[in-house]
Structure 1
């Protein structure tokens, strides 16, 4: 259990967000996030929607049915979250 989980608990949305933070330079698919996190495809789909709506995560269509997701490094909110994530993990280690 890392520092974020100790403070906020382990939720599907937090798990997805952590995965995107840790792989912020790599676009990924819903199934890739599901596989990496151990969450179901439907859980990832459900929790990524508000992250996209808030602008923290970018969604890009790739063809008609495939979508890629990546942390929005141009978002001030996303950058604050990444900063917090790094600092809290340093502090709690």
Structure 2
């Protein structure tokens, strides 16, 4: 849905993937696989999202990093709302 406005970029694919996980933490490799991106592409685009507190990171063990949208963040709330508004307005079928 976001790519209709912002184009098919790694960032929009990552954001849509995280929105689809409904606040559940998911690991970097899972995001990459589901979004059809390389691990390095996801790592590159997720860093600024974490730095700006749009995405939160939680370590799982020593090496696994997991991520979720920060639904308390104003910008993340706007992205989620935009996504759902676009989904609602898209033609069914």
Shared fold, TM over 0.5: yes
Match of 1:59 among 31, 42, 57: 57
Give the distance between the partners of 2:7 and 2:78, measured in 1 at CA: 19
Corresponding position of 2:34: 36
**Aligned partners of 1:76, 1:38: CA distance in 2, in Å?**
28
Q: State the Cα distance separating 1:78 from its structure 2 match.
A: 0.8
Measured after TM superposition, the shift of residue 65 of structure 1 is 1.4
- Give 5+ residue unaligned stretches, structure 1: none
TM-score (norm 2): 0.89
User: Which consecutive residues of structure 2, in runs of 5 or more, have no partner in the other structure?
Assistant: none
RMSD of equivalent CA atoms: 1.2
Shift of 1:26: 1.5
